[in-house]
Structure 1
Amino acid sequence: MTKQRTQNIWAVGRNYAAHAKEMHAPVPKTPLFFLKSGGCLNSGSSIELPKWSQDVHHELEIAFLVDENLNFSHLTLAIDLTARDHQEAAKKAGQPWTLAKSFAGACPIGSWISILDAGDLTLLNFKLTKNKITVQEGVATDMIFNPSQLLEFVKNHFPLSPNDIILTGTPEGVGKVVSGDMLQAELYSEKQSLLACHWDVI
């Protein structure tokens, strides 16, 4: 893996129909991308919530790392933290979501594993527990646009760079996190565990 700094986190919205439904939003006909700054990455084991938001939500996603040939090389789990109160205000005002999506630490991320060790990407499934209660579960086959389609879309429309990250969307079950919460995430291929992550919310 390169140690080059990630410039961009390309995140796709509403890539699971059930999540679009819980957000009272239509299912997109083409990928709905937005940007999170590479500076949002948090590879530590704790999450510090912004003091200016009272409603930060977890959105667990499969994340892919792009190599120097602009192909996927590694994958992990990431949380697209969202200041929902500010996002809803921005939506109503027709304004960008940057404040809600791109604050410091807004993308907690797990350890990278080689895509060669992940097996069939269509068999990936993942879950998030909050205080030992399962709150989100997803399977790759439920994605509206699969990882390969998302990569191709970004290549064709945006200035993708080596070491950029593509987030593939969150399943239903997003919800609020507060100080004191314990988040645990796990990525599986069929029944084999590929990765486990842990974050303490402070």
Structure 2
Amino acid sequence: MSYSLYQHQSISDNTLDLPTGKVVCIGRNYLDHIRELDNEVPEQALLFMKPATALVSLDEPLLLPAGLGECHNELEVALLINSPIQRGDDINITEMIWGVGLGLDLTLRDLQSKLKNKGQPWERAKAFDYSCPISRFIPINEFHDLNQLEFSLIINNITRQQGSTAKMMRSIESLLSEITDCFTLLPGDIVLTGTPAGVGVLNSGDKLALTLANRYKFGCEII
């Protein structure tokens, strides 16, 4: 199966005039997820990246990698960057973020565990092609407070993940500031803000329903 070329889309089905950039991911930003995997609480935000080739629209059926062990869901609130953000910038969310959506940080858990045990980077388990299915984006002005967003993942009519950005260990503003202490965010980049508890195995035939802010609904099927 080949996917169509990914482009950022709005909730109104318009193609956005923003390039397809990198995906910056935040690990261990929800305490319940840290506990479920028995990980250490990080002193700084745990940052890793996925390349643009990881992006695929959630409007398309998902195909999991074959022969690489368990692939897990990690549902996250996604921020689409609208203007450059550099070290030392004052964070103005309404100017710097175009909109908000949902993303899946697909993770090859068996492979990640092996890499972690060897002290090696996670890219082989996190950054493979199409490892970041992403929804259409809702304009920033549709949200009152990005630090109070509820979101959920239902698989085969059973709730798998349910979270709120109010329970993040770091706020949206502090995440953007900490990221840009290390590297610049550019228009078209996406920031995934971390996943709550409830990660688990995905299987062919699973039907996924994702909800953001109790209003916006997305869905896809694994083939």
Q: Does 1:83 align with 2:98?
A: no
Q: CA deviation at 1:4?
A: 3.5
Give 2:79's match in structure 1, choosing from 64, 70, 73.
64
The CA distance in 2 between the partners of 1:34 and 1:94, in whole Å, is 14
1:38-88 deviations in Å (ceiling 9; x for gaps): 111111331100113220000000000111243112110000000101101
The CA distance in 2 between the partners of 1:114 and 1:144, in whole Å, is 24
Q: Which amino acid aligns with 1:201?
A: I
Q: Which amino acid aligns with 1:40?
A: A
SS at 1:151 equivalent: helix
Q: Which has the higher strand share?
A: 1
The number of residues matched between the two structures is 198
Name 1:102's counterpart in structure 2.
127
Name 2:222's counterpart in structure 1.
201
The CA distance in 2 between the partners of 1:52 and 1:162, in whole Å, is 36
1:151-183 deviations in Å (ceiling 9; x for gaps): 111122113221111000000000000100011
Q: CA deviation at 1:103?
A: 1.0
Q: CA deviation at 1:139?
A: 0.8
Structure 2 residue ranges without an equivalent (≥5): 1-14, 86-95
Q: Does 1:51 align with 2:66?
A: yes
CA RMSD of aligned residues (A): 1.3
Q: CA deviation at 1:2?
A: 4.5
Give 2:192's match in structure 1, choosing from 160, 167, 184.
167
Name 1:42's counterpart in structure 2.
56
TM-score by length of structure 1 reads 0.94
SS at 1:162 equivalent: coil
Identity %: 37
Structure 1 residue ranges without an equivalent (≥5): none
